[in-house]
Amino acid sequence: MRAKLRLMGFRAAAVKPLNEEAAAELGAELLGEAIVFGVGGLCVYLEYARQVAQGRRRDEQQAAALHDLQLRLQHLQERLDAMAGQ
């Protein structure tokens, strides 16, 4: 109960004890909310990690394509130089 009051912004020095049923209900509610929050946070983290990995793969593919084009351009330049030399 003190934790719930602190989360709501209240400062209570003394809190009367809850009966067992109310305490169990409050504990179950807090546990449920913590689980939902944890699963939501995990989903956000996994989506972020997936997006980062996807961006990294895209960058690697673009770098490989650029390298391939540079090699082809170099090969064509060498052929052009050889033809100009004849």
- CA gap 49, 55 in Å, rounded: 10
Q: Which of the two residues, 74 and 11, has the higher pLDDT score?
A: 74
- Average pLDDT score over residue span 29-40: 95
Distance spanning both ends of the chain, measured CA to CA: 92
- Average pLDDT score over residue span 14-27: 81
* Residue 46 host element (H or E): helix 20-85
Residue 5 contacts by C-beta under 8 Å, 6 or more apart in sequence?
Answer: 11, 12, 15
- C-beta separation of 1 from 18 below 8 A: yes
Look up the pTM and report it: 0.59
